[in-house]
Structure 1
């Protein structure tokens, strides 16, 4: 958390006298009560927040972060596109049931305004979008606070920030803890997650790391993870090597030729709603061009849940699951 006073993102009211004095400032609201503001970084820009009361979250990664911090009561509703697995399968299924599902489509400005949201959590280009007219700057002008996943700041215009996905997760939990006034709880959650990740690293199989290809989708060109998205780090933590670890991208299309040349020993299949993992495996195993790839020939496929591959606490589950798979493969 920073201590320098910056622009405040405060919901405007006609009767409010906004008396700001920096981080931790006391602000008189229209009821004569005092509110606390906290300044944290948002993709490199320092922003002053009031404690949110009606958060709207986009996709499970955003919701999971708040639920993990015990902030369910502050979540007004969630937006969950069809690609996401059912929320009933979530470790926080009870929390999802306690808040409103606002839409099964993409995030948009009208939805946020209609929900009377005072805080929106999403990723850049995965929720927030210039093309769809919902950006932090636009919400600032509407008096609605916003928070971006640190991992997605990599290509956020005007505020370049590069952070590894797992450090981005820890950073987000800590910053959300500051914004909502639950910093101690955030520290506990982060410490637990770090401990689980370190345990996976320590159990990684000995010897050369197996070559791993993450297959999201695509037949003409495969869509995969570069080194700025969680699967790259999941693979590394578990003891493998992403064959596209040298691509400084988040998610990107590549050619089949580099995949064949790299000869992955394991293929991770990203599983989500409209593209079931079984269909992807069928495609890979029926392709004559891929028939001599070691992973295809030996049937070495590991399924990664969609929510284990996007910024949120479940990427730690993803590392644990893939770590167990590699240990079994080594045996």
Structure 2
């Protein structure tokens, strides 16, 4: 899942994966600086024409200085219950650089992604009890770059190799910059703010960062331009129209809610995707605590003009899940009009936000 997935909120998504461990078969097993300077910031966007990467390339990443003498050739992508990072590599055509990938989801708003991810090498890696690659396996694999969706992917307390330990072995590490604060006890105020306010642009920034690292800056800039153009086309089409209330609910992630309700996604990138589609989140202004604490009364009284059903496993059927929710909450406007969309990873942190925006916008403003 960016976690997605964004970032999908990692602590929640890790809990979801842990609860669903017995359903593993159902699962099918989240920016750069000036061109050519050799130094880049960890999260700033790029403006102007894309240039050729000048090595050595060094920049700060979540408080750790990382350096590249050339484009990495043996990349390990850690799980982190995300698909944001592996999908970004694939959309940039960087799969040949992947030594082993631990990210998988089994359902996607881009169906071709499922086969592409499954075709990647896994390095024979196995997960520990915290659902990621243990330190000894990472060190034995000898990658030249290890990518994690969150800072916690390098937490020794979880059985993972630390950034310092990997650096001592000559292995560079990279955290998706928007998730620096996730799993980092001493996160800065700026890192916490970036994590809290992640958006569609956060997905683009990671693509641009990979473009810089792998000397694929023009490719990344072109991809971001295309994706941004698709989203802006939706914004233009829906401009000036009433923002209908949209609820994103993942029935298959009910284990994330204390009351066993579908996981309702709010804040950050979820709100941004909905806004881009011409709507507003039914729980706009509320943080991730909604996912954990939402009760049936709050869900029943929510204003829901459009239901967005999120799929967690390939076995789920969006139409059936929508029908169940409509039957349970007949008072919603969406239930009365049978207005819904089906998504999976397009609302998480990752390169498929344009698809998610397009899917949602088609039902938010069906007459547009």
Aligned to 1:210: 244
Q: How many residues align?
A: 298
CA contact (8 A) 2:58 2:68 kept: yes
2:249 pairs with 1:227: no
Q: CA deviation at 1:100?
A: 4.2
2:68 pairs with 1:68: no
Distance 1:246 1:215, change over 3 A: same
Task: Indicate which of 168, 178, 183 corresponds to 1:151.
Answer: 178
Distance 1:263 1:84, change over 3 A: same
Instruction: Give the structure with the higher percent strand.
Output: 1
Distance 1:104 1:255, change over 3 A: farther
Q: Unaligned regions of 5+ residues in structure 1, if any?
A: 7-22, 25-35
Q: CA deviation at 1:92?
A: 7.7
Task: Indicate which of 31, 42, 53 corresponds to 2:73.
Answer: 53
Q: CA RMSD in A?
A: 3.3
Task: Indicate which of 288, 296, 312 corresponds to 2:335.
Answer: 296
Q: CA deviation at 1:133?
A: 2.8
Q: Unaligned regions of 5+ residues in structure 2, if any?
A: 1-31, 41-52
2:228 pairs with 1:188: no
Q: CA deviation at 1:202?
A: 0.8
Q: CA deviation at 1:54?
A: 0.9
CA distance in 1, matches of 2:141, 2:290: 31
Q: CA deviation at 1:226?
A: 2.4
Q: CA deviation at 1:49?
A: 3.0
Aligned to 1:320: 358
Q: CA deviation at 1:128?
A: 5.6
Name which of structure 1's ranges 209-218 and 153-162 shifts more when overlaid on structure 2: 153-162
Q: CA deviation at 1:118?
A: 1.9
Q: CA deviation at 1:275?
A: 6.8
SS in 1 for 2:238: coil
Name which of structure 1's ranges 269-278 and 233-242 shifts more when overlaid on structure 2: 269-278
Name which of structure 1's ranges 245-254 and 172-181 shifts more when overlaid on structure 2: 245-254
2:83 pairs with 1:78: no
Structure 1 ranges of 4+ moved more than 6 A: 3-6
The aligned runs of 1:1-331 (5 Å cut-off) are 1=32, 24=54, 36-43=55-62, 45-50=64-69, 51-57=71-77, 58=79, 59-81=82-104, 83-85=105-107, 89-91=111-113, 93-94=115-116, 97=119, 99-100=121-122, 102=124, 106-108=131-133, 109-124=135-150, 132-134=158-160, 136-137=163-164, 139-157=166-184, 158-160=186-188, 161=191, 162=194, 163-204=197-238, 206-216=240-250, 217-218=253-254, 220-228=260-268, 230-249=269-288, 252-253=291-292, 254-273=294-313, 276-278=316-318, 280-287=321-328, 290-305=329-344, 307-328=345-366, 330=367
CA distance in 2, matches of 1:275, 1:137: 41
Q: Which has the larger radius of gyration?
A: 1
- TM-score, normalised with respect to structure 2: 0.69
CA distance in 2, matches of 1:238, 1:320: 7
CA distance in 1, matches of 2:222, 2:174: 21
CA distance in 1, matches of 2:124, 2:115: 16
Distance 1:90 1:283, change over 3 A: same
Q: CA deviation at 1:74?
A: 0.6
